[in-house]
């Protein structure tokens, strides 16, 4: 077997493998649409017996992290023909993908796991979850009179992007959507009905994508930038009460819908969603905006990373008072006198903390990081507090 970058000549073979592994069938139109996407992606495959036996795609994205845009490699369409499974090929593909992303300066990687435990073996870790709600019409938020208006129809993309970009920047791990992504992955999948909430000054402050079918109001995406927009959109939804019996939607983990209802006993579920992995400790942390400090912070991070050996070792992290970071790898003899500043951790733990999904103090409590109290408290202060969310799928 050999691992190689796949080309357009391999497209049909890749699509056949995906259809088999994920149990779907594409139309001719969908095949052609995906052909264009395939040409833009970095696809790695294992060749055996003269054919593609396994493959994965690295989709180029940008993601928001603490208000900055990071280059991100999205791992997708990981598949193997059944006769070639249990040979360790996916492990080799993932390691090759990490090397490829490192060369391309994609310092962080996301994926949607079929199994969390499987991808944890290779350094990915949970970074986001969401709430899934189901409400009957009697449980909907009370209708409110607001100063703005809801306009239903087909708003211009610029209007939707204005709202989405402001909202996405509030969370870590959201995608920086380009126009092509809006067209093929938002408009086609989130619901054909759209409505935008405009405030009194005609500034868009929220929107909802939805479908109404079989007395169900299914929300594909709802965003509101303030409480007024939230009330306006929920009033718009509640005005369908003669047509529907239930409403379903997903929301970020920090959403307070249940708390804001007269009766918070609604059906809600917390769903673990995507995983993340730092590809390059040096690249990622050099760009990472830490919290402002009263005085500079110095921490030693002893990182374990079997599948990305360039990350392994002891790193000296210095955080300036303005939150700017510098980091470099130290030789064994250089940190003997700094053991009080040392934190030992796996790449998974470093990722989930810097993404904002878990805090250093929490990770110490469950034995996922080790270090002195002073070092862990310093890291706790250095990492800004911001929740995670992802409204997309790939």
What's the CATH code of the domain at 295?
A: 3.30.1050.10
- Per the domain annotation, does 113 fall within a domain? no
In this structure, are 30 and 58 located in the same domain? Answer: yes
**Count of domains forming the chain:** 3
Burial 376-392 (b: 16+ CB within 10 A, else e): bebbbbbbbebebbbbb
Question: What's the Cα-to-Cα distance from 270 to each of 132, 211, 353, rounded to whole Å?
Answer: 6, 23, 20
Query: Residue 248: pLDDT band by 50, 70, 90 thresholds?
Result: very high
What lies within 8 Å, CB to CB, of 57 at 6+ separation is 38, 41, 42, 43, 44, 75, 76, 77
Structure tokens at 238: 């509640």
In this structure, are 242 and 265 located in the same domain? Answer: yes
Give the Cα separation of 363 and 360 in Å (integer).
5
In this structure, are 142 and 245 located in the same domain? Answer: yes
What digits encode the pLDDT tens for the residues 266-294?
999 999 999 999 999 999 999 999 999 99
- Per the domain annotation, does 118 fall within a domain? no
In this structure, are 61 and 190 located in the same domain? Answer: no
CA atoms within 13 A on the CB side of 339: 3
Residue with tokens 């009263």: 294
Cβ atoms 235, 143 nearer than 8 A: yes
- Per the domain annotation, does 391 fall within a domain? no
Give the Cα separation of 314 and 328 in Å (integer).
9
Cβ atoms 390, 271 nearer than 8 A: no
Give the Cα separation of 80 and 275 in Å (integer).
21
pLDDT at 102: 98
Give the domain range for residue 188.
Answer: 131-272
Residue 337 has pLDDT above 80, yes or no: no
Query: Residue 66: pLDDT band by 50, 70, 90 thresholds?
Result: very high
pLDDT at 338: 66
- Of 204, 239, 272, the last residue of a domain is 272
What digits encode the pLDDT tens for the residues 193-212?
999 999 999 999 999 999 99
pTM over 0.85: yes
In this structure, are 240 and 155 located in the same domain? Answer: yes
In this structure, are 242 and 135 located in the same domain? Answer: yes
Q: Say if strands 297-304 and 342-346 run parallel, antiparallel, or are unpaired.
A: parallel
pLDDT at 232: 98
> For the domain that residue 96 is a member of, what is the CATH number?
3.40.630.30
Cβ atoms 394, 112 nearer than 8 A: yes
- Per the domain annotation, does 231 fall within a domain? yes
- Per the domain annotation, does 389 fall within a domain? no
- Of 237, 272, 307, the last residue of a domain is 272
In this structure, are 290 and 266 located in the same domain? Answer: no
Q: What is the DSSP letter of 342?
A: E
Nearest to 72 by CA among 114, 21, 20, 128: 128
In this structure, are 67 and 147 located in the same domain? Answer: no
In this structure, are 261 and 291 located in the same domain? Answer: no
Q: What's the rounded mean pLDDT across residues 303-324?
A: 97
The Cβ of residue 71 has, within 10 Å, a number of other Cβ atoms equal to 18
In this structure, are 268 and 301 located in the same domain? Answer: no
In this structure, are 146 and 263 located in the same domain? Answer: yes
- The DSSP annotation for 344-361 comes to EEEHHHHHHHHTTSS-HH
pLDDT at 166: 98
- Per the domain annotation, does 295 fall within a domain? yes
In this structure, are 197 and 317 located in the same domain? Answer: no
């Amino acid at each position: 077997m050999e691992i190689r970058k796949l080309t357009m000549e391999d497209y049909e073979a890749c699509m056949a493998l995906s259809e088999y592994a994920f149990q779907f069938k594409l139309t001719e139109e969908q095949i052609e649409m995906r052909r264009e996407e395939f040409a833009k992606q970095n696809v790695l495959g294992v060749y055996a017996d003269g054919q593609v036996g396994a493959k994965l795609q690295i989709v180029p994205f940008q993601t928001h992290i603490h208000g900055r845009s990071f280059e991100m490699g999205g791992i997708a369409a990981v598949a193997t023909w059944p006769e070639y499974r249990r040979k360790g090929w996916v492990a080799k593909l993932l390691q090759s993908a990490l090397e490829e992303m490192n060369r391309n300066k994609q310092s962080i990687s996301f994926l949607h796991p079929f199994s969390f435990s499987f991808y944890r073996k290779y350094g990915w870790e949970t970074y986001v979850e969401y709430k899934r709600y189901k409400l009957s019409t009697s449980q909907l938020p009370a209708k409110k009179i607001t100063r703005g208006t809801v306009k239903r129809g087909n708003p211009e993309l610029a209007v939707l992007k204005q709202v989405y970009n402001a909202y996405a920047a509030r969370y870590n791990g959201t995608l920086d959507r380009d126009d092509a992504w809006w067209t093929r992955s938002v408009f086609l999948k989130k619901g054909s009905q759209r409505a935008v909430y405009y405030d009194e000054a005609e500034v868009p402050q929220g929107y909802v994508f939805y479908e109404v079918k079989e007395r169900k109001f299914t929300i594909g995406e709802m965003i509101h930038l303030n409480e007024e927009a939230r009330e306006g959109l929920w009033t718009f939804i509640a005005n369908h009460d003669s047509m529907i019996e239930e409403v379903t939607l997903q929301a970020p983990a920090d959403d307070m819908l249940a708390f804001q209802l007269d009766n918070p006993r609604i059906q809600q579920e917390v769903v673990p969603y995507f995983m993340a992995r730092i590809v390059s400790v040096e690249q990622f942390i050099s760009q990472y905006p830490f919290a402002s400090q009263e005085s500079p912070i110095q921490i030693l991070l002893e990182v374990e990373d079997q599948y990305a050996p360039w990350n392994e070792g002891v790193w000296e992290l210095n955080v300036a008072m303005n939150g700017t970071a510098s980091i470099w790898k130290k030789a064994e003899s250089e940190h003997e006198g700094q053991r009080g500043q040392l934190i030992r951790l796996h790449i998974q733990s470093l990722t989930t903390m810097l993404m904002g999904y878990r805090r250093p103090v929490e990770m110490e409590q469950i034995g996922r990081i080790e270090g002195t109290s002073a070092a862990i408290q310093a890291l706790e202060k250095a990492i800004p507090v911001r929740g995670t969310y992802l409204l997309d799928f790939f």
